[in-house]
């Protein structure tokens, strides 16, 4: 097939929670703190489209387990999309997240996934609020980000990891921790409250 | 000794840091150190500095420490290094600052220190060049920074930590050490671990 992929451009809020210590060591050389990478990601598209399909307002959640570092592959992923999305929106977002439409980071991330369940349509609750963001799907998963705290004074610390020339997934990650972080969906099952959380704006496209 | 509000001071310059944590250093994110303890060095190169009426432009100083747990939990052992080119008035000023009695980040670093080793007066040979900076103190310290490398492409990563509430620095280039070897009052061999480079600006409380 030589047909050019449908052009897309999306702006979204990325809310990640994983099993690494706060800061997430994968940002600094690629290898997780505790051997494996187990992550929940909430995605709220504030503005975007793929071809003629408007993706604004679409919500999705990814739950993924990689047995080692992400770039070493063999990921086991479940992709949830909010059931309010139209069939065209579901197909469009699935095309992006599975790497079929090209563009970073998905054309790379998709190659690290060997088992994919989804897209699964569920009601997704999501509150986009920086390092206090939350998302959940009743009976399946829940994540609550909470700001880093100064261990002495207890005050919030705002700590950004910035890739000045552009990062792989995001370029300015507001680092946090989590008060809740769990999923129970078939073989994707973990619970890592108190570890790393990151809130970041993302802009993804397969166009120049 | 004069109290911390008695002397007005300000310092501006470059700080180079290294420790035994993995790249990124979880302490930056209020998480425990990678290996449970903290062995590390801060070296300051003062570009513009004034402590009372003592001019400190161009002088260097160092803080080498070991903490059994996270730094904020205290019980640290500290060794100070003072640029041996400093005359008596400057030595007193630099030691006053590092004692923590005059505030700034030095007050916090001093507050976690339980044991002070004998201060070293030595030449600090510094090359200031971002994540290619080096500090050499003959026979005592070799500290050379380098970039973190992307694990897939091998390309150097440009990474900045922006932390408005940071007390040592607020805008920090995060890297690794090509070499971090200390043979003063401690024996540190943590080459290849975390390293950082930043501009700093500190001042007295008034």
Nearest to A70 by CA among A41, A102, A30: A30
ipTM of the complex: 0.90
Contact B23 A161 (CB under 8 A): no
- Per DSSP, the three-state class of A145 is strand
DSSP result, chain B: ---TTS--EEEEEEEEEEESSPTT-GGGGT---TTSSEEEEEEEEEEEEEETTEE-TT-EEEEEEEESS-GGG--EEEEEEEETT--HHHHHHHHHHHTTTT-SHHHHHHHTEEEEPPPEEE--EEE-BTBT-EEEETTTEEEEEE--B-TTT-PBPP-EEEETT-SS-SEEEEEEEEEEEE-SSS-EE-TTSEEEEEEEEEE---
Q: Does B24 touch chain A (CB under 8 A)?
A: yes
The tens digit of pLDDT for each residue in B99-108 reads 999 999 999 9
The tens digit of pLDDT for each residue in B17-37 reads 999 999 999 999 999 999 999
- The model carries a pTM of 0.93
Q: Does A44 touch chain B (CB under 8 A)?
A: no
Contact A164 B158 (CB under 8 A): yes
Chain A residues whose CB is inside 8 A of the B32 CB are 21
CB-based contact A58:A85 (threshold 8 Å) = yes
Mean pLDDT in residue range A155-178: 95
Contact B29 A33 (CB under 8 A): no
Task: Flag whether pLDDT at B196 surpasses 60.
Answer: yes
Please count the residues of chain B.
206
Give the one of A24, A151, A158 whose C-beta lies nearest to B164's C-beta.
A158
Q: Supply angle C-alpha B77, A151, A191, rounded to 5.
A: 120
Which pLDDT band holds residue B151 (cuts at 50, 70, 90)?
confident
Q: Report the pLDDT value the prediction gives residue B4, as an integer from 0 to 100.
A: 58
Task: Flag whether pLDDT at B140 surpasses 90.
Answer: yes
- Count of C-beta atoms within a 10 Å radius of residue B17: 25
Domain boundaries, chain A: 8-195
Contacts of residue A191, defined as CB under 8 A and 6 or more positions apart, other chains included, come to A181, A182, A183
Contact B152 A164 (CB under 8 A): no
Contact A162 B161 (CB under 8 A): yes
Chain B residues whose CB is inside 8 A of the A25 CB are 22-24, 26
C-alpha B16, offset from chain centre: 6
Mean pLDDT in residue range A39-58: 98
Contact A159 B162 (CB under 8 A): yes
Residues 132-151 of B with CB under 8 A from A: 148-151
Domain boundaries, chain B: 9-203
- A interface test, pick of B23, B30, B163, B193 with most A CB neighbours within 10 Å: B30
Question: For residues B162 and A159, what is the distance between their CA atoms, to the nearest angstrom?
Answer: 6
Chain B residues whose CB is inside 8 A of the A164 CB are 158, 160
The tens digit of pLDDT for each residue in B47-56 reads 999 999 999 9
Mean pLDDT in residue range B72-82: 96
């Amino acid at each position: 097939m030589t047909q050019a992929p449908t052009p897309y451009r999306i702006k979204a809020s990325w809310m990640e929670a994983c099993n690494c210590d706060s800061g997430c060591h994968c940002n600094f050389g690629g290898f997780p703190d505790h051997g494996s990478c187990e992550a929940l990601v909430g995605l709220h598209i504030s503005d975007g489209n793929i071809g003629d399909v408007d993706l604004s307002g679409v919500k999705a959640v990814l739950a993924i387990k990689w047995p080692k570092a992400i770039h070493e592959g063999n990921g086991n992923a479940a992709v949830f999309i909010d059931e309010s999305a139209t069939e065209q929106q579901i197909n469009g977002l699935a095309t992006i997240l599975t790497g079929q439409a090209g563009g970073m980071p998905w054309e790379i991330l998709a190659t690290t996934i060997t088992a994919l369940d989804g897209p699964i349509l569920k009601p997704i609750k999501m509150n986009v609020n920086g390092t206090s963001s939350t998302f959940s799907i009743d009976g399946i998963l829940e994540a609550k980000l909470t700001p880093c705290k100064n261990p002495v004074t207890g005050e919030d610390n705002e700590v950004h990891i910035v890739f000045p020339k552009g990062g792989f997934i995001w370029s300015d990650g507001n680092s946090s921790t989590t008060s809740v972080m769990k999923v129970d969906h078939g073989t994707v099952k973990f619970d890592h409250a108190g570890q790393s959380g990151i809130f970041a704006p993302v802009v993804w496209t397969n166009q120049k | 000794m004069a109290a911390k509000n008695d002397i007005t001071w300000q310092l501006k310059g470059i700080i180079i840091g290294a420790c035994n944590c993995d790249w990124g250093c979880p302490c930056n994110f209020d998480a425990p150190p990678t290996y449970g303890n903290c062995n590390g060095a801060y070296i300051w190169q003062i570009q513009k500095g004034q402590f009372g009426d003592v001019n400190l432009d161009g002088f260097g100083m160092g803080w080498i420490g070991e903490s059994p747990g996270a730094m904020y939990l205290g019980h640290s052992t500290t060794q100070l290094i003072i640029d041996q080119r400093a005359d008596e008035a400057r030595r007193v000023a630099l030691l006053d600052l590092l004692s923590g009695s005059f505030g700034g980040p030095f007050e916090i670093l001093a507050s976690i220190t339980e044991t002070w080793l004998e201060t070293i007066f030595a030449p600090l040979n510094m090359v200031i060049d971002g994540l290619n900076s080096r500090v050499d103190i003959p026979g005592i310290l070799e500290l050379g920074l380098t970039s973190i490398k992307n694990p897939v492409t091998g390309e150097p990563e440009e990474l900045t930590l922006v932390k408005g509430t940071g007390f040592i620095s607020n805008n920090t280039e995060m890297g690794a050490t090509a070499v971090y070897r200390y043979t003063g009052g401690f024996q540190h061999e943590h080459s290849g671990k975390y390293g950082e480079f930043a501009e700093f600006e500190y001042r007295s409380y008034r």
